[in-house]
Amino acid sequence: MPTVLLVNGFRFFFFSADGNEPVHIHVKKGDGDGKVWIEPEIK
């Protein structure tokens, strides 16, 4: 899972084979995590 950006303890990363979901990026800091969907979708 390549890290795209590290800012104030937040790690932004992606998985190259993340299923059929729309394009998104994962965010993690400590025990917390989330996903941000990229719109409009990049094709």
- Dump pLDDT digits (tens) for 10-43: 999 998 887 788 889 999 999 999 999 988 866 6
DSSP-derived secondary structure letter, 1: -
Please give the model's pTM, rounded to 2 decimal places. 0.77
CA-nearest of 4, 3, 41 to 23 is 41
- For residue 38, the model assigns a pLDDT of 86
- For residue 1, the model assigns a pLDDT of 77
| CA–CA dist 24, 40 (Å, integer) | 11
- For residue 42, the model assigns a pLDDT of 64
Beta bridge partners of 5: 12
